[in-house]
Amino acid sequence: MSQLAQDPWGPLRRYTHARIGLPRTGDSIAGSEVRALQAAHACARRAVHACLDPAKLAVGDSFIEVRSQAKDRSEFVRRPDLGRRLDGPSIALLKQIAPAGPWDVVLVAADGLSAVAVERQAPPLQNAVRAALAHTWRIAPLVVAHNARVALGDEIGALLGVRCVVMMIGERPGLSVSDSLSLYMTWNPHVGRQDSERNCISNIHARGLSTGEGCHKLCWLLKSARKLGYTGVALKDESTNMTLLPETKTP
Amino acid sequence: MVHRISLVGETFVFQDLKHILASASLLRSGDELAGIAARDPVERVAAREVLANLPLRHFLTEAIVPYETDEVTRLIMDSHDEAAFTPISHMTVGQFRDWLLSYAADTSSLEKLSPGLTPEMVAAVSKLMRNQDLVSVGRKMRVVSAFRNTQGLPARLGSRLQPNHPTDDPDGISAALLDGLLLGAGDAVLGINPASDHIGRGMDILWRFDDIRQRFDMPVQSCLLTHVTNTITMIEKGAPVDLVFQSIAGSEQANSGFGISLGILSEAWQAARELNRGTVGTNVMYFETGQGSALSSGTHHGVDQQTMEVRAYAVARVYSPLLVNTVVGFIGPEYLYDGKQIIRAGLEDHFCGKLLGLPMGCDVCYTNHAETDQDDMDTLMMLLTAAGVNFLIAVPGGDDVMLSYQSLSYHDILTLRSVFGVRPAPEFEAWLERMALVDGTRLRMNQPYALPNFRAGS
């Protein structure tokens, strides 16, 4: 029997990865498919609750570790307001480090809703960005942020006195992808910045945007932002397809 | 007006009506986030006692969002029907709760009462009701609406077929559409959430849906869930628009955040009715709501999220909608933390919407960062069906690949039909029989060729 004869939905599955034509028993979905969804959900749940392990970022000891006011993952999920502000010790630490600058840009590895995404995508991305910007930008040491929302970068950037903050942050996990990373860049960061004042590059994962492509877009946006002096909705991503950078493989 | 009460030797003080309402609400994360939840369970019960003793008439004298600056408040106050209110005008909120559960409150008396109720009265009484109360009173209420089929009849359960695709690929959408139809779903609406706001691509989807509907002579309506102003543009360009969609909320500012006003909604309502495309009815509006939407845009005026949600229903009822859907678990755990909170909110929304005369449906759904799973959704879908919900949302395999959240599967609708003996809209049921997709009440194991020459994948 050919594959086609076995699965009359075969030709239609080419057009969508929605769960169409699932095998049925009575009214219900066949057990194998029920368990497949449960497995995907379990991975997503694990990604949401995972704590970011700086050792997995492969940066040795050369990073600054900060925390938001959300004390654990459960509070982080419930209280987005707390995830946008640094706790006391983190503020003190950044103030202590700031005089080592000045820097143009800081990269922040922030767990967001998927620490797994940061652990997988941030290391190659960080390496690529540092290599691409090495001669023209003064780059601060990597900041690793726990229980962090996007806006936490505003406070980090302001305390370090940088011109731009780039949050590398885990997206809310879906069933098909639980390790997707977003980049948010904010020029002249300070507490109270609106989301409309940021630029975002999303969907960085093995089956989405590669880390090389992400780096290419980011560098284009950074260069444009420096020229214009702002980020946000008025800065449109008009980067061409990448030609500048060597391909970086996602581990 | 300050309200004081002593309970278990402690005195509790509530500053005003919105303070009482917020404190009386069941615990939910959104009210905690807003800093307006009861401080502890005893204060919550004290607030309920105050609420129970408050005359319903009081709600006509104290606006929780200022009348002068909010068109939703003006709508609520100015359209209140004193004659319809008369039968309960002497009651307190607590007496109203007991009356709703009495045998005297039947389908017809509840229907007549609706224009005499304000959303705040309805929200208030729901806060004094347990889950089973919300189900048993919900079940007594009937709201029938119609376009190409009739929704909300007794022992019927409609379903929205939601064939979303991450890039709006027309063949991908058609494949998912075929999947849903072969599983007997879609009588409430064939409704697609487009990934892009592009007018031309949206119109292509509408043309394709209309073509398929006509080819198979399906008694259904389609809807592209795009901004109301886009739909108005599409109507002007001659697109086959059956229903107008819009997300709505319970304050003027919140609606402004959605880019709408009562005026814009009226314009769209008028434009869609003039197309005169319905065959068995003229209800052309499809609204979506959800607890927490006002808070998420900072436009809640210090009012608890459940009361704000019910105020959105006051907006909806102006336009005699075909469908109103509370997207209960979509907003995330900052507003509804876990299965318990989502289930409670789903039952509240259905009850409150129905009591205000709306054809309520529900998207029984959750995101991956909420503390819940499919088992909780099973519970909610069964409770809502027991409560007589008009329709439920379903997507392929329960997994929406565009919006990245989980809803019900078409199979879940089949389960509900079998378990509760509910059936799809009569016109759609006849179509399923005509197309030989069902064998008696059972759905056949349909394969794609059961609807020959369907455009999917062509």
Q: Using one digit for the tens of pLDDT, what is the confidence trace for A56-80?
A: 998 888 899 999 999 999 999 999 9
Say what the pLDDT of residue A60 is. 80
Domain presence at residue B19: no
Say what the pLDDT of residue B458 is. 43
Site of tokens 């949206």: B202
Which residues in chain A have their CB less than 8 angstroms from residue B411's CB?
22, 24, 27-29
Query: Exposed (0-12), middle (13-18) or buried (19+): which is B196, by Cβ within 10 Å?
Result: exposed
Which residues in chain A have their CB less than 8 angstroms from residue B423's CB?
none
Of B47, B21, B55, B35, residue with least CA distance to B126:
B21
Candidate from A27, A33, A77 with C-beta closest to B333: A77
Domain presence at residue B78: no
The pair of structure tokens assigned to A123 is: 């290391």
Helix (H, G, I), strand (E, B) or coil at B286: strand
Q: What is the CATH number of domain A52-228?
A: 3.40.50.11240
- A33 and chain B in contact, CB less than 8 A: yes
- B167 and chain A in contact, CB less than 8 A: no
Question: Measured in Å, how far apart are chain A's first and last C-alpha atoms?
Answer: 38
A191 among annotated binding-site residues: no
Does an H or E element contain B246, and which?
Answer: strand B244-247
**What does pLDDT average to in each consecutive run of 10 residues of chain B (458 residues)?**
91 97 97 96 97 98 97 98 98 98 97 97 98 98 98 98 92 96 98 90 95 97 96 97 97 93 97 98 98 92 98 98 97 96 98 98 97 98 98 97 94 98 98 96 92 68
Distance from CA of B39 to the nearest CA of A (A): 16
Domain presence at residue B114: no
Domain presence at residue B157: yes
A171 among annotated binding-site residues: yes
Distance from CA of B101 to the nearest CA of A (A): 34
Which residues in chain B have their CB less than 8 angstroms from residue A79's CB?
33, 334
Q: Using one digit for the tens of pLDDT, what is the confidence trace for A114-161?
A: 999 999 999 999 999 999 999 999 999 999 999 999 999 999 999 999
The pair of structure tokens assigned to B231 is: 């739909």
- Cα–Cα distances in Å, from A30 out to A23, A24, A27, B126, B382? 5, 5, 9, 39, 20
Distance from CA of A21 to the nearest CA of B (A): 6
- A32 and chain B in contact, CB less than 8 A: no
Tell me how far apart the alpha carbons of residues A170 and A116 are, in angstroms, rounded to a whole number: 7
Distance from CA of A219 to the nearest CA of B (A): 26
Are A41 and B373 a contacting pair at CB < 8 A? yes
Tell me how far apart the alpha carbons of residues B358 and B351 are, in angstroms, rounded to a whole number: 10
Domain presence at residue B7: no
Domain presence at residue B164: yes
Tell me how far apart the alpha carbons of residues B93 and B95 are, in angstroms, rounded to a whole number: 5
Query: Which is more confidently placed, A242 or B224?
Result: B224
Tell me the residues of chain A between 65 and 104 that have a Cβ less than 8 Å away from chain B: 77-81
Domain presence at residue B128: no
Say what the pLDDT of residue A244 is. 39
Say what the pLDDT of residue B455 is. 65
Looking at B79-182, list the stretches that DSSP marks H as alpha helix, in order from N- to C-terminal side: 82-85, 93-101, 107-113, 119-127, 131-140, 170-182
The pair of structure tokens assigned to A158 is: 């302001």
Are A174 and B404 a contacting pair at CB < 8 A? yes
Tell me how far apart the alpha carbons of residues B353 and B347 are, in angstroms, rounded to a whole number: 10
Say what the pLDDT of residue A5 is. 53
Are A18 and B175 a contacting pair at CB < 8 A? yes
Residue A3 scores a pLDDT above 60: no
**Preceding omega of A102 cis (within 30 degrees of 0):** yes
Tell me the residues of chain A between 162 and 221 that have a Cβ less than 8 Å away from chain B: 172-176, 178
Domain presence at residue B439: yes
Are B418 and A44 a contacting pair at CB < 8 A? no
Residue-by-residue DSSP string for A171-233: PPP-SS-S--EEEEEEES--TT--GGGEEEEEEESTTSB-HHHHHHHHHHHHHHHHHHT--ST
A200 among annotated binding-site residues: yes
- B319 and chain A in contact, CB less than 8 A: no
Q: Residue A86: beta bridge partners?
A: A68
User: Do the beta carbons of residue B237 and residue B203 sit within 8 Å?
Assistant: yes
In chain A, which residue's Cα lies nearest the Cα of B419? A27
Listed by start position, the domains of chain A span: 52-228
ipTM value for the complex: 0.94
CATH number of the structural domain spanning residue B401: 3.20.20.70
- B340 and chain A in contact, CB less than 8 A: no
Tell me how far apart the alpha carbons of residues A106 and A86 are, in angstroms, rounded to a whole number: 16
Chain center to CA of A130: 17
Are A18 and B369 a contacting pair at CB < 8 A? no
Number of separate domains in chain B: 1
How many Cβ contacts (< 8 angstroms) between chains A and B? Answer: 121
Candidate from B172, B397, B457 with C-beta closest to A29: B397
The pair of structure tokens assigned to B184 is: 């007997």
Which residue segment(s) compose the domain that B429 sits in? Answer: 145-450
What band does A234 get if pLDDT is binned at 50, 70 and 90?
confident
Are B399 and A175 a contacting pair at CB < 8 A? yes
- B178 and chain A in contact, CB less than 8 A: yes
Are A16 and B175 a contacting pair at CB < 8 A? yes
Distance from CA of B271 to the nearest CA of A (A): 32
- B414 and chain A in contact, CB less than 8 A: yes
Say what the pLDDT of residue A240 is. 61
- Cα–Cα distances in Å, from B390 out to A117, B154, B242, B266, B313? 40, 9, 19, 24, 15
Candidate from B172, B398, B409 with C-beta closest to A16: B172
Tell me how far apart the alpha carbons of residues B394 and A164 are, in angstroms, rounded to a whole number: 44
B452: left (phi over 0), alpha (psi -120 to 50) or beta: beta
Q: Residue A107: beta bridge partners?
A: A166
Of B160, B78, B142, residue with least CA distance to B357:
B142
Distance from CA of B202 to the nearest CA of A (A): 18
Say what the pLDDT of residue A249 is. 34
